[in-house]
Chains A and B, each alone.
Chain A
């Protein structure tokens, strides 16, 4: 399989702080790649560089054969992105928002309208399609953000904590959707803290710590390498986490003190 995401020595510095430090990896078409790391490890910074939201300092990256530095517009046409913030224009209605997003990808007319209607129907939002989103729950907004990322049938999809706010049924639907999309040849880059989900749906996991890649491989490979049985234990080991039981005990003492 040819690599759809190709990252070579990617680096991002904010003043004297290196958020992403010379990381390299490749993700082939049709793969679901989990991207894990503790808070502040550099996950979102990596995704922001790959989606063209922030400029990289060193290294290079290509998405679907387009260099993110030289052909940013071509890259952006190929990708879909569900940001962690779930930001959208809340004073628009779902229909207006999705119509605007569709038009930005040059989707117009009946084709776009039908597609929007289908997304809203499947996510059970048809009844509120003309209501402003500022009164929506977090889960409802997240469904719109996900629809907006998939509307233009992207080749590569970046998910950053996509299950935020979704109820159990919607979360299940999304996980199934991700599997289906990967089966159709789409490349999925999945950032999350929910290790159980990553363990279930990802073909491969990259763990990043302090801006550097700490582990990279399939769950089986990582289990074999670290001699740990669960992703949680693997994660603790490669990110050098302290003994959580001890920390929890100390914390409970602080609470009851």
Chain B
């Protein structure tokens, strides 16, 4: 039975089954699911992400139940789950689909393009189903609170949401594949990196918008509003609602859109995309020679540059970390894709708080906590660097660290952090101060950025206490970005504490020098102790004692 269905789809059932089974097996056996034997702790990062997904879902569904009718509730909760699914695919799981890594193992085997494509899609749908389950479970049960729903609401809700998420996932994959088709491979790799960054911004703003919308909704969402027809979550929401209410024309039309969207995305993926899929992946495997532009600098300029650099980078081990990280941040597309979205988040948050009318000059008496919340996102950027700098596609080359006579491995780490701070963080804070100076006096903007700059550096140094790997020495594991993003949402209440701290300092400006001194002292002490601990940890890990 199954074999004939697959055969009708142009998929080899035996190959499909064995490949899917092994891909899932491989995912569960990879490092991200393994406990670290060293500390004997089980760190299931993907399972943790699933738990993290439950929390915003409970929050949004709880608000929706209180403030809206059944349609509004389903619209809001399905929006959340679709946003998160799209976000996960953009950040992490697109690699399941567009990953040329296994080309040396599979592309010369007699696997048809369609079989290969559906293995990848089924692998993706497996994660979509797991993540979707975590996201949809709370609203599926909270929806029973509405008087028109019956006992089987959770089943109906989960079923419709699954289709919504599969359609959303297929849509993103179609979009990616479209880009692969129209651009040549080198250009494409750059474009994918930036598309990912742009998508992340849009989805992040979308999430913030959803939180605001949920807070503002009172009563019902107008079914006849034109925007419903442009919002896929409204289409799927209307399917759920239509089951429990007499179905007026609007519900039917919206539900029809849901059916059409699901059908179209799946049909397109099944027919067109799957046929050219192998070609799509091949394109990503082809690389051409890339020559770095050599800066046209004079000997004098070079000397000056070296002298300036030696002020900041004091020894050869630091220089190694500094040069490696500088070059990889400039050349590695994957690294840029994973880090650069963080730069936009503080600006997005400042923008959103300005729109809300809550962001003001923090030195003025009227400035509330809303002024300080987005500023704390500047510190969050450090979390991205902390998590991404130890990872690299070339992680296997890390053996070079351990055969070299390095006296203190922390020096390599300090060098890499200096590269981050000098080349990216300093210009970024200057830019932010320019943006802020549009809203407030220049010296206020500069002081805010200076304070947060030191806050960033001391926090970044402090995190070395928890660091386990040298720069670029660890394989990037799927699930890492999701965890980071989810942490960002979940730790939001903790930001309030930091917000109060900044509020106190800026409302009492004579505390600024004290605060700065405290941050410098904190950073210095952290460097002293964390550096020692980091060096010991690396030596123990690599049996270098």
Residues in chain A within 8 A of chain B (CB atoms): 14-15, 17, 51-55, 73-74, 76-77, 79, 81, 83, 85, 87-89, 91-92, 96, 99-101, 103-106, 108, 132
Dominant secondary structure at the A interface: loop
How many A-B residue pairs lie within 8 Å, measured between CB atoms?
75
Chain A residues, Cβ within 8 Å of B282: 53-55
- Is the CB of B22 closer than 8 A to any CB of chain A? yes
Q: Is the CB of A51 within 8 A of B14?
A: no
Q: From DSSP, what is the main secondary structure of chain B's interface residues? A: helix
B426 partner residues in chain A, CB cutoff 8 A: none
| A87 and B110 contacting across the interface, CB-CB below 8 Å | no
Report which of A17, A76, A87, A96 forms a contact with B22, defined as CB distance below 8 A: A96
What 1/0 flags go to B16-29 for Cβ under 8 Å of A?
00110010011001
B109 near A76 with CB under 8 A, answer yes
Task: Tell yes or no: B398 within 8 A of A by CB.
Answer: no
- Specify which of B19, B30, B108 is in contact with A53 (CB 8 Å cutoff): B108
Question: Does B105 touch A at the CB level, under 8 Å?
Answer: yes
Q: Which residue of A lies closest to B104 (CB)?
A: A87
Question: Which residues of the other chain, A, contact B25 by a CB distance below 8 angstroms?
Answer: 91-92, 96
Give the shortest distance, in Å, between B13 (CB) and chain A (any CB): 11
Are A14 and B110 also in contact (CB < 8 A) when A92-B22, A100-B22, A106-B14 are?
no
Are A73 and B112 closer than 8 Å at their CB atoms?
Answer: yes
B287 contacts A14, CB within 8 Å?
A: yes
Tell whether B111 is near chain A: CB-to-CB under 8 Å: yes
Closest A residue by C-beta to B109: A104
Given contacts A76-B109, A96-B22, 10 further A-B contacts (CB under 8 A): A15-B288, A54-B285, A55-B279, A55-B282, A73-B112, A92-B26, A101-B109, A103-B15, A103-B18, A104-B19
Residue tally, chain B, CB below 8 Å to A? 29
- Given A14-B289, A54-B282, is A104 in contact with B111 using a C-beta cutoff of 8 Å? yes
Whether A87 lies near B105 (C-beta < 8 A) is: yes
Q: Which residues of B contact A17 (CB under 8 A)?
A: 288-289
A84–B37 Cα gap in the complex (Å)? 33
B29 neighbours in A (Cβ, 8 Å): 91-92, 132
Q: In the complex, are the beta carbons of B107 and A104 less than 8 A apart?
A: no
Q: Which residues from chain B contact A91 at a C-beta distance below 8 Å?
A: 25-26, 29-30
Is B292's beta carbon under 8 Å from chain A? no
Chain A, Cβ-Cβ closest to B184? A15
Q: Which chain B residue shows the least CB distance to A104?
A: B109
**Chain A residue, CB-CB nearest to B186:** A15
Is residue B102 contacting chain A, with contact meaning CB distance below 8 A? yes
Q: Are B26 and A104 in contact (CB under 8 A)?
A: no
* Interchain residue pairs with CB less than 8 A apart (6): A54-B286, A87-B105, A91-B25, A100-B18, A104-B109, A105-B110
In the complex, chain A residues whose CB is within 8 Å of the CB of B110: 73-74, 76-77, 104-105
Q: Name which residue of chain B comes closest to A99, CB basis.
A: B18
Q: Does B508 contact A (CB under 8 A)?
A: no
Closest chain-A Cβ to B283's Cβ sits at a distance in Å of 9
Q: Answer yes or no: B103 CB below 8 A from chain A CBs.
A: yes
Shortest A86–chain B CB gap in Å is: 8
Give the residues in chain B near A101, CB-CB below 8 Å.
109
- Pair A14/B288 contact, Cβ less than 8 Å: yes
Task: Kindly provide the distance from the CB of B307 to the nearest chain A CB, expressed in whole angstroms.
Answer: 26
Q: Is the CB of B103 within 8 A of A53?
A: yes
The answer on a CB contact under 8 Å between B108 and A52 is: yes
Chain A residues in 8 Å Cβ range of B112: 73
CB distance from A187 to the nearest CB of B (A): 16
Tell which of B19, B108, B286, B287 touches A100, judged by Cβ atoms closer than 8 Å.
Answer: B19
In Å, the complex CA distance between A181 and B394 comes to 38
| Smallest beta-carbon distance B282→chain A, Å | 6
Q: Inside 8 A of A104's CB, which chain B residues have their CB?
A: 15, 18-19, 106, 109-111
Contacts of A14 in B (CB 8 A): 286-289
